[in-house]
Amino acid sequence: MVTAAPTQIDEAAAKQDAYLTDGVDLYRVVRPLDVPPRSETAELENCWTLGIRTYTADELWRMGLRRVRA
Whether 5 has a pLDDT exceeding 50, the answer reads no
Name the residue ranges covered by the structural domains of the chain.
7-67
| pTM of the full structure | 0.77
The string of DSSP codes covering 17-35 is: T-EEE-SS-EEEEEE-TTS
Higher pLDDT, 4 or 52: 52
Cβ contact 64:13 at 8 Å: no
pLDDT band of residue 1 (cuts 50, 70, 90) is very low
CA distance 17 to 58: 20
Cβ contact 48:25 at 8 Å: yes
CA angle 33, 26, 20 (to 5 degrees): 40
**pLDDT of amino acid 4:** 42
